[in-house]
Structure 1
Amino acid sequence: MSAPANTAARRALIVVDVQNDYDGGNLAIQHPPFRDSVVNVTRAMDAASAAGIKVVVVKQMAPEMSPIFALGSHGGELHPEIARRGRNHYVEKNLPSAFTGTDLEDWLRANAIDTIAVVGYMTHNCDLSTIIHAVHMGFAVEFLSDATGSVPYANSAGYASAEEIHRVVSIILQSRFAAVLKTAEWIDCLKTGALPERDTIHASNQRALSRSAA
């Protein structure tokens, strides 16, 4: 369902899990810093509203005893900058993808949306899951890489910093699953009608091989 180059995208902005636990709480975003990325989330929301693009706000739900996003906790509530802004649709989810167990797909199709722009948290978890799910259902996807963020991980598979996780996932997304761009670039696309650059697995691989050989 990716729009041809001469066809205007019918977008919705999907604001994923911008909740207080990410803002210095029990799952504090490290890269890009939350204080910077949340500003870009709100910039995208404001630009979408001004352009007549529908905004969907998504919230992760967890049981009362969960260490993150617990039902009824401050950490589980929407960040105030998101809560105070208008939205066209609201989704509560229990799994990473905003499509699983929700009405998001039905709502998008009922509104003739063919392209979703994803912002919010986290780059490598709920954003990644939502983006891949969307592509498999035929939607075109845009990912605003400075309106999201990651945390570091260490487990039996190894260690990765927040910067590494965010950077690598962004590269992978651009290679196949989404057009990855900055918020300011996305806002320019809304104004000009231009579609953001997309890439392919093969082209991304060939560039990497050329870089290694240089």
Structure 2
Amino acid sequence: MKRALIVIDVQNEYFTGALPITHPPREESLAAVLTAMDTAREHGIPVVVVQHTSPAGSPLFAAGGHSWELHEEVGRRPYDHLVEKTMASAFAGTDLAGWLDAQGVDTLTVAGYMSQNCDESTARDAHHRGLAVEFLSDATGTLALSNRAGSVTAEELHDHVLVVMDSNFASVATVAEWAGAVRSGAPLPRPNIWASTRGHA
């Protein structure tokens, strides 16, 4: 297997901007992201950093603004490829698929923000493209949502995404569990919709 780690949208918008991550606590999830990046570097796993970009003047991720910039701890670490995206999935309208294919990657490890939006969209796209997907539960995160359809806490939303991912689309693991698999060269347990639904019909 050939892994790549994708670090999605770890930008200032989620720390000092309009979308502060609350679960897991953003300093904890950031530390987990950085540990994953360091682990990948130590084991020769390519790292892709993704940066979401909106037009200048937009309320979120406005190009060139402070909130658009990568978090300094991510920006100062080495990475192998930078993807600038304008939609939720890191595959949409970018060169990501071609770059991963050129590197021989067959397993994509997802970290970054937000769990239910860009993380989940990228994971689903990767799955549908035939890649094995790993979703790092403590190196991803989100915030509470409330709209005409209802309200959900950040913890509920994040946990919901993890359950759905591990049912069919991605192997969910903590960074520590993933690092152990990396060191051993082993795959994580694969998602299993049958096992996830047994006894709940």
Compute the TM-score of the two structures, normalised by the length of structure 1: 0.92
Corresponding position: 1:181 with 2:173? yes
Q: 1:72 aligns with which of 64, 68, 74?
A: 64
**Is contact 2:16–2:67 with CA below 8 Å preserved after alignment?**
no
AA partner of residue 120 (structure 1): G
Misfit runs of 4+, over 3 Å: none
- When residues 187 and 207 of structure 1 are mapped into structure 2, their CA distance, relative to the original with a 3 A threshold, is farther
Per-residue CA deviations over 1:117-161 (Å, capped at 9, x if unaligned) read 000000000000000001111111000010010111111110000
- 1:56-205 equivalence runs, <5 A: 56-205=48-197
Q: Which runs of 5+ in 2 are unaligned?
A: none
Tell me which structure has the larger Cα radius of gyration.
Answer: 1
AA partner of residue 200 (structure 1): N
Q: In percent, how many aligned pairs have the same letter?
A: 50
Compute the TM-score of the two structures, normalised by the length of structure 2: 0.98
1:195, distance to aligned residue in structure 2 (A): 1.4
Take 1:188 and 1:121, find their aligned partners in 2: how far apart are those partners? 23
**Is contact 2:5–2:46 with CA below 8 Å preserved after alignment?**
yes
Look up the SS of the partner of 2:6 in the other structure. Answer: strand
Which residue does 1:32 correspond to in 2?
Answer: 24
1:207, distance to aligned residue in structure 2 (A): 4.5
- When residues 158 and 34 of structure 1 are mapped into structure 2, their CA distance, relative to the original with a 3 A threshold, is same
- 1:38-57 equivalence runs, <5 A: 38-57=30-49
Number of aligned positions between the proteins:
201
Take 1:201 and 1:158, find their aligned partners in 2: how far apart are those partners? 27
